[in-house]
Amino acid sequence: MRINPALFLLFFMLMAGSCQTKMNTSTQFPDLVPPKASEKPYELVSAHGHKRSDPYYWLRERENPEVIAYLEAENAYYDSMTAHTRPLQEKLFAEMKGRIVEDDQSVPVRRGDYFYYVRYVKGGEYPIYVRRKGSMEGAEEVLVDGNELGKGQAYLSFFLSVSDDHRFAAVVVDTVGRNFYEIRVRDLSANTWLPDRIPHTRGAVEWSTDATAFYYTLPEAVSLRTNKVMRHSLGKAVSTDALVYEEKEPTLNCSVGKSKSRQYIMITSDRTDASLVHILDASVAGFGAKPRPIAPLRDGVEYRVDHAGGDHWMIYTNQQAVNFRLVKAPLNRTQPEHWVDVVAHRADVLLEDVDYFRDFMVLQEKREGLSHIRILPASGAAPFELPFDEPAYTASLSYNPEFESEVVRYSYTSLTTPATVYDYDMKARRRTLMKQQQVPGGFEPSRYKSERVMVPSRDGRRIPVSIVYRVDRFKKGNGQPGWLYAYGSYGSSMDARFSSNRLSLLDRGFVFAIAHVRGGMEMGGGWYEEGKMLNKKNTFNDFIDCSRWLQEQGYVAKDKLFAQGGSAGGLLMGAVSNMAPELYRGIIADVPFVDVISTMMDESIPLTTFEWQEWGNPNIREQYDYMLSYSPYDQVERKNYPHMLVTTGLHDSQVQYWEPAKWVARLRAMKTDKNVLFLYTNMDAGHGGASGRFESLKEVAREYSFAFDLLGIRE
């Protein structure tokens, strides 16, 4: 985004006093005056009469030129302050890009007579969707070339939904990064675009059985909560699209999917603690029908529905099962009183996922925070598990669309093992390696070692931590720098996965660790419950306890620990920077959710109301007070803070850009140290940052160079 003359003038007003540049004798940072956001009185009053002053509330005005000027000034300040690191950033970018196979492709997936896959070409940022008919020996057919689609676009995210008869593809495209998608339709048999175009959708697309229509979702205009499921008939005007379902409950967000049998459309309305599923015949017979609910909405009860064939539904649920169980119910008697256990609840095992085949059922489970894949033969023979032997790893079910298959595809990775895809013949009990991520540049797994430790928390819980380091650069108590990552919200498990980018940390002597803190589901459903709502501070305390343990046990030097988290993990970064700033040399907070109270109070902000069961309802005094007690923006104090790098995207619809902008503005006004504080806004992207497999590496290089520079690492 370019600065117009008015913004240019505002920029220099904001940067007043910073024109004289000189090098600080103790660091390489220029002695520049950082931008200062204007303070404009604004008072927020809660439903309970509690008043808060927010002098930076005006930064919410996205269209205000002064707001854009402030964000541009912060970017310019970052660029000037870190200009000396540009050669290092370029080196890191080239280094990480050099570990990517530029001419690459995914493992083909069979659907009917076709094998679908994506491939990349040298220099290409985006995937090319292709297929072959009959076998991989057939002629390749290009469905959509992402590099052509992305020409002239600053941002591109897209995916395809192919009809069951393989004739059409709905191409779902976002060119802004705000998670609004335009649906375009391609006739694959004629290799042409149809005139059908549907703007401003929420991305989900499922085809009717006969491929004459597809279902999609729309958001509310203000809150952006996905509340409508529509059906579009090919060749018809969008204005004639049928409203299939409208979710009127303001705490629910809806989505659309399709059963494995391909016979049913499933409309799921959910929030963080509960869900409601309606089903509809996917054939033309369903066009005039009303979606039928499987079970009523109940607080605290989540369920997910599938149909693989036969006369029953398979239902994955946490009803009376904090670690989830699997039940089945007759097609026409779906209420909970008709549910019969297929896989009963187990107190020590989390049931994460299930897939269905004619002769087998495959379970993805987690015990003591580690993944397991268990196979249940339909014949009644004894179940069996796939063997895994690394201390910290992740194994998960892949896309398996063919019900008749005797082969299940799964993925495996660890902190030292690149992403690997296997096909496992469940009848012959034989594993076939289909693909392992290649890492050019001389990667040798034996140079690296991973560990999995259980760290005692202050309240007696044991927190799993996954650790990796380069063997020849590591010795306990030897003063190594460290990088600790965590998320800890929504029940999302942050499993131990390989990252070729991370080698740039490890090869420079860093110890990298993931703290599997409460709020995730690594240790089961109870682990999630202990890190949400009125238990949220457990997430922050766990991270702090893991940080101290790594330092006290000699894994990381006490003055060289960096912490990083994004989105809800950015909330974690904000909280620990207030609670224990002395533990961290630097903090990297990506798109951080830091203005908890103001966001939860404002029902017009996207994605707010259905998250009340994750964070709290501010209309309830106890929950309001608790959120206020940790909200990073509200808890900024006049004290020392670590070096900090904060990032955001102007078009972010999940965590609005103004949250990190306000937070940085308040930190600048309050902090008493001379440590650097940077705000970098991607003016062309949203929550996920830059698009493209190479452009995104520049953001990683920015974060790594921030830490390296503070440690005096110049190469």
Per-residue pLDDT tens over the stretch 246-265 = 999 988 999 999 999 999 99
Active site annotation includes 273:
no
Q: Which of 687, 691, 705, 709 is catalytic?
A: 687
Q: CA separation (Å) from 574 to 300, 543, 563, 592, 593?
A: 28, 12, 10, 8, 8
**What pLDDT, on a 0 to 100 scale, did the predictor assign at position 382?**
97
Write down the number of H helices and E strands in the chain.
13, 39
**What pLDDT, on a 0 to 100 scale, did the predictor assign at position 631?**
98
Q: Which of 499, 567, 577, 691 is catalytic?
A: 567
Beta-sheet pairing, 643-649 with 677-682: parallel
Q: What is the pTM of this model?
A: 0.90
Q: Which of 273, 306, 652, 709 is catalytic?
A: 652
Q: CA separation (Å) from 442 to 52, 95, 99, 228, 511?
A: 56, 12, 9, 51, 20
First to last CA, the chain: 31
Q: Which residues of the chain have pLDDT under 70?
A: 1-27, 605-608, 610, 653, 685-691
* 618-645 per-position pLDDT tens digit: 999 999 999 999 999 999 999 999 999 9
Neighbours of 465 (CB within 10 A): 26
Active site annotation includes 567:
yes
Give the alpha-carbon dihedral of 84, 86, 92, 96, to 10 degrees: 170
Token duo for residue 627: 């959120």
Residue 297: partners with Cβ closer than 8 Å, 6 or more residues away: 249, 252, 269, 274, 275, 276
Report yes or no: 330 and 486 within 8 Å, Cβ to Cβ. Answer: no
Rounded CA separation 357/696 (Å): 38
Selection from 414, 354, 349, 406 nearest residue 388 by Cα: 414
Report the residue count for the chain: 715
Single-letter amino acid, residue 202: R
Nearest 5°: the CA angle 591, 595, 601 is 125
Residue 488 zone, left/alpha/beta (φ > 0; ψ -120 to 50; rest): left
Selection from 127, 76, 122 nearest residue 102 by Cα: 122
Active site annotation includes 405:
no
Token duo for residue 562: 């960096």
HSE at residue 536, side-chain half, CA atoms within 13 A, is 28
* 261-278 per-position pLDDT tens digit: 999 999 999 998 999 999
**What pLDDT, on a 0 to 100 scale, did the predictor assign at position 1?**
31
Radius of gyration of the chain (CA): 26
Nearest 5°: the CA angle 669, 673, 677 is 65
Token duo for residue 74: 């912060």
Rounded CA separation 709/689 (Å): 23
Q: State CA 221 to chain mean position distance.
A: 24
**What pLDDT, on a 0 to 100 scale, did the predictor assign at position 222?**
77
